[in-house]
Amino acid sequence: MTAAQRNCLADALVAGYDVLRRSASAVNAVEATIRILEASGLFNAGVGSRLQLDGARRMDASIMEGRRLRAGAVAAIEQVRHPITAARIVMEETAHVLLVGESATRFARHFKLERQPLPTRAKRNASRAMVRSQGQASELQRKTLRLYRAMSGRNTAELGTVGAVALDRSGTVAAGASTGGVALMLPGRVGDTPLIGCGVYADDAAGAVSMTGLGESIIRLAVAKEIADRLEAGVVPATAARLVLDKLVARMHGAAGALVLRTDGRFAIRHTTPHMCAGYWLGAGKPVVKDKFE
């Protein structure tokens, strides 16, 4: 984690907490926190999102509140600076949960959401360089690249998730996440982030969960919902996260991290990866920001 990322995370935590201190909703706090991370360009979300193999920047986001189990999400949305805000508008202005692709982008334009420019030539060149250095990629990524080349007939091609959970003064929890996906994505690939119960889940009867990691494995186990179910059964956040992440590793050889918050205020940050940039703030002193949590 760079100094810039550490400072940005701290700023986002302060902004989210300030929202809660003004007695605003947990949803407001989650959105405010994630918007700072999306706008920074320092993380794989919003303006910092990775490019897919065809050179397009397609993003996913979701948000959920636990009192009425309302949720909204967008997948494969383009040219939007804040996908998390688009997801919230889906939740609040439609009868749907998930909008995808060009239709999601048109939806965001209708509501006049702030746009971001198309990827620059420098960004596309960097993606090409990444593809050329595919020897450093995993076998799964190399397989994806070979498949894309076979589909497109090209010899060359274009080439972490952010999230937050919050509890407000009324006892309502919320969770959100935003991402640009993973390296070497086939065009149209969608991960766990916009899928309610996989990447995020919030229920006042249990708590709030926001996930990061390899989306394909998170989807197969519906990880966020499983952690929430354990919270509802009375398991403390640290244990709930550990049990489900251990299952993810044992069953799927997956890699993930989780932000877990129970409605009594107890929380945990857990990950199976060597590092996970995350933090929390209790409103006094300085925010705690680290890249490793035990």
Q: What positions carry a catalytic annotation?
A: 161
User: Contact at 8 Å (CB) between 218 and 198?
Assistant: yes
Reported residue count of the chain is 294
- DSSP per-residue codes, 200-230: EEEETTTEEEEEEE-HHHHHHHTHHHHHHHH
- Nearest residue to 66 via CA among 261, 199, 218: 261
Distance CA 106, CA 16 (A): 29
The neighbour count for residue 270, using CB atoms within 10 Å, is: 23
What SS3 state is found at 176? Answer: strand
Which residue has tokens 């060149």? 125
DSSP secondary-structure letter at 269? E
Calculate the dihedral angle through the C-alpha atoms of 204, 263, 177, 136, rounding to the nearest 10 degrees.
-130
Query: What are the residues whose beta carbons fall under 8 Å from the beta carbon of 122, sequence distance 6 or more?
Result: none
Query: What three-state secondary structure class fits 133?
Result: coil
**DSSP 8-state secondary structure symbol assigned to residue 53:** T
Q: Within its chain, how far is the Cα of 237 from the centroid?
A: 19
The conformation of residue 100, written as its DSSP 8-state character, comes to E
Sequence-distant (≥ 6) Cβ neighbours of residue 231 within 8 angstroms: 206, 207, 209, 237, 240, 260, 262
Strand partners, 267: 261
